[in-house]
Amino acid sequence: MTKDGALPKGFERPTVSASPNDSSVQEKYEEVKSSSKTITLRISKFNPEKDLRTAFHAFTVPYQRWTTVLDAILEVKSHQDHSIGVRYSCRQATCGSCGMIINGKPRLACFTKISELDSDVVTVEPMNNFPLIRDLAVGFERMFSTHKRIKPYVIREDSETNPGTKEFLQSPEDVEKYIQFASCIKCGLCNSACPTMTTDSTFIGPQGLAQAYRYVADNRDQGKDERLRIIDEPHGIWRCHFAGSCSQVCPKGVDPAMGIQLLRGYLLGYRK
């Protein structure tokens, strides 16, 4: 931006010649809408407080090559059924709010394009292994409390904030050991895909265990023994049977199955 606040040459905003109500804009919108392809979006609807069973409501939705499943749900919510319960926020796979089962697999709705599903019918359901709030929204309380239980922070006796204490330096190699696990956005897709969590809701789950590994592998941390004690319990790390589904569904490239097996290496004494 220049000193007087104007944008540099070539970056000026185009002058808006038509208001949103202008008929040509509306015509253009209708033209785009009619030229796009359509899919049938089946949305699971269930309100635990008044419904007895889940019902799937089908809607016809136009889509373009770039339309995401979340865009389609919001299109239905805006124009066809305002009552749909859906949680979302950032729309860019960063907040981890819009996890749901899309055509049978846990995915982020904002990170899944309709065109990549290769199906004329897209079915969306709430994530498995979570308590249902309504329609597509599930409760994360249990996952967050498990996350807190594994102490997701660097434990030190000293502190960077103490006067005279140097900052905790790490080499790039030290960072590589845990950085992938720091990408977790707590969307819960891994817990939803886990076959152990289908029957054992007290299992810590891949999300919590991967986060335990993230801090155990961090060379600034001094809470390894404490964390290993927390996960070494009947519903802890030993209930993972390495089906690998958690790693398959993670939208951020975190590999919880790997983290869990590496954690076991610490517990079995193969890693220090």
**Could you list the residues that contact other proteins (CB under 8 A)?**
46, 48, 51-54, 104-105, 126-132, 138, 176-181, 183, 193, 195-199, 201, 217, 241-245, 247-250, 252-255, 257-259, 261-266, 268, 270-271
Please state whether beta strands 99-102 and 121-125 pair in parallel, antiparallel, or not at all (unpaired).
antiparallel
Calpha distance 258→49 (Å, rounded): 40
CB of 265 to other proteins, least distance (A): 3
DSSP letter (8 states) at residue 42: E
Distances (CA, A) of 47 to 7, 23, 217: 50, 40, 42
CB of 153 to other proteins, least distance (A): 20
Pick the closest to residue 121 from 145, 144, 104 (CA basis). Answer: 104
Q: In which element (H, E) is residue 137 found? A: strand 137-138
The alpha carbon torsion through 164, 179, 171, 219 (nearest 10 deg) reads 60
Q: How many CB atoms lie within 10 A of CB 48?
A: 10
- Beta-bridged to residue 86, according to DSSP, are none
- Between residues 25 and 243, which has the closer beta carbon with respect to other proteins? 243
CB of 178 to other proteins, least distance (A): 7
CB of 90 to other proteins, least distance (A): 17
Contacts of 93 (CB under 8 A, 6+ apart): 108, 110, 111, 185, 251, 252
CB of 213 to other proteins, least distance (A): 8
- Between residues 49 and 167, which has the closer beta carbon with respect to other proteins? 49
CB of 198 to other proteins, least distance (A): 4
- Between residues 165 and 265, which has the closer beta carbon with respect to other proteins? 265
Contacts of 178 (CB under 8 A, 6+ apart): 213, 214, 215, 217, 218
- What is the SS3 assignment for 62? strand
- Between residues 8 and 269, which has the closer beta carbon with respect to other proteins? 269
- Between residues 61 and 214, which has the closer beta carbon with respect to other proteins? 214
